[in-house]
Chain A
């Protein structure tokens, strides 16, 4: 995914360095190489490549990662604004 750049500076990804135990699970599961473990702590190296899927947050055993997970889908977000998100048919 090196060639694909989306909108920068928006990811809600937060990594609490104090809580991180350096297990590397976040590095393993991230589909875009956003997080790497260096010297026994995870660091964010690709914040603008983050698509907020939440895999890292789901798997962090130390609760060091937070973000607002979701799907980068304009149609779904629009339906959400209209209060109709349960009317999604295409990908239910």
Chain B
């Protein structure tokens, strides 16, 4: 098994482990010595602060584990249903694109509340945000949580990549010896897992029947109360303003490196002139061009996602072209005093072209674009975006002579 970083690397350990020693009752100055004869007071951990029976050499206990439940299949961790500050800071890191592949929990069986043989089994992915999104909705509920090994990827994407799959469900059911833990034969799967899981095949593979639960974990309590039935809104995907806004930081962080490379190229191109290459021109002219890039990023990767349903046009490249017009105007207004007419044209077109391209790029973060549709708009838009950019850059270089 290869060494993988886990969310533990963010330093979130269970507070009762040896990493956070607590003074035992009745001791002085936080250590077990009583003064007088005996070992001198060192201010270290008390003698009663031994490692617990569930801590194993080479393993760190997750902070979300409350205690352990005894089952016929062995000890099963009972997890908290409230997220800690540690969990939330990990979410923030994930949403900002920091250490993306490290946000995972160990696959297998967990539980919440006083889970028993009759309690439902809720299946999820081992992406820590998926796991946390589920458990935080389960306060007051007794249930088993079966975590699939989706390599740290969320349910829907993993289903598409076939890691949240029929085979993986069957594997985890068998590996956790689930049939010894529960007396029923039902698994509740998130609806979006259906892309990768054939319910009938799961039944054939491990004898458990798949019930399709709601799209959102927040609807699970109502689903369970309602006799495992979903209402129609529970079965529909939404894309609210908040849903769109939380995607912006990670999308921008993913484009940080390519944008830096493009910026470097824009600086270099800006230095081309009568004296072959001028560092001064590269800097001063380059700044103007990179500002256009920044305006294009703002229009295409921030404003367009935020205002998505309000911007006319079905194709995202069209929406980005419209916000790109605003970016182009801003570029012109910013440099109207310092740039020539030709240069202003180039600055405007560069801003609009990047806006259109980056808006088109947002299709990958939305829950409603079809690949056929995206391909169609790419075939139409890329020549325009590329051609416009090329023209603008040629004009820009030419304007230096």
A residues at B contact (CB < 8 Å): 1, 3-8, 10-12, 25, 28-33, 49-55, 58-59, 61, 68-78, 90-92
Contacts and interface: CB of A to CB of B under 8 A. Distances in A.
B364 A76 contact: yes
Contact of B369 (A8, A25, A51, A91): A51
B24 to A, nearest CB: 47
Contact of A72 (B212, B215, B370): B370
Contact of B237 (A10, A31, A70, A77): A31
Contacts of B237: 1, 31-32
Interface in B187-226: 191-192, 194-200, 212, 215
B191 A12 contact: no
B315 interface: yes
Contact of A53 (B195, B238, B376): B195
A12 B239 contact: no
B53 interface: no
Contacts of B371: 52, 68-73, 77
Given A4-B308, A50-B370, A91-B157, 4 more contacts: A69-B371, A73-B371, A76-B364, A77-B374
Closest 6 CB pairs of A and B: A73-B364, A72-B369, A70-B371, A29-B194, A7-B373, A55-B194
Main secondary structure of the interface of B (DSSP, over half): helix
A35 B312 CA distance: 27
Contact of B368 (A4, A61, A70): A4
Contacts of B368: 1, 4, 6, 32, 49, 51, 72
Contact of B364 (A7, A61, A68, A72): A72
B199 A31 contact: no
Interface string B78-107: 000000000000000000000011000000
A42 to B, nearest CB: 15
B243 to A, nearest CB: 11
Contact of A74 (B232, B367, B374): B374
A7 B378 CA distance: 12
Contacts of B364: 71-76, 91
B378 A29 contact: no
Main secondary structure of the interface of A (DSSP, over half): loop
A28 B191 CA distance: 8
B196 A58 contact: yes
Residue from the set B367, B372, B377 with the largest chain A CB neighbour count within 10 Å: B372
A6 to B, nearest CB: 5
Contacts of B316: 74
Given A58-B195, A61-B200, A11 B212 contact: no
Interface string B369-394: 11111111110000000000000000
Contacts of A74: 316, 360-361, 363-364, 374, 378
Contacts of A7: 314-315, 370, 372-373, 376-377
B198 A53 contact: no
Interface in B349-366: 360-361, 363-366
Residue from the set B157, B215, B370 with the largest chain A CB neighbour count within 10 Å: B370
A12 B372 contact: yes
A52 to B, nearest CB: 4
A78 B381 CA distance: 12
A74 B309 CA distance: 19
Contacts of B232: 33
A44 B157 CA distance: 24
Nearest to B232: A33
B30 interface: no
27 contacts: A4-B239, A4-B368, A5-B314, A6-B368, A7-B373, A7-B376, A10-B376, A25-B199, A30-B235, A32-B236, A33-B232, A33-B235, A51-B369, A52-B370, A54-B195, A55-B191, A58-B196, A68-B371, A68-B372, A69-B195, A71-B371, A72-B363, A73-B363, A76-B364, A77-B371, A78-B378, A90-B100
B378 A6 contact: no
Given A7-B314, A7-B377, A10-B373, A29 B212 contact: yes
A6 B236 contact: no
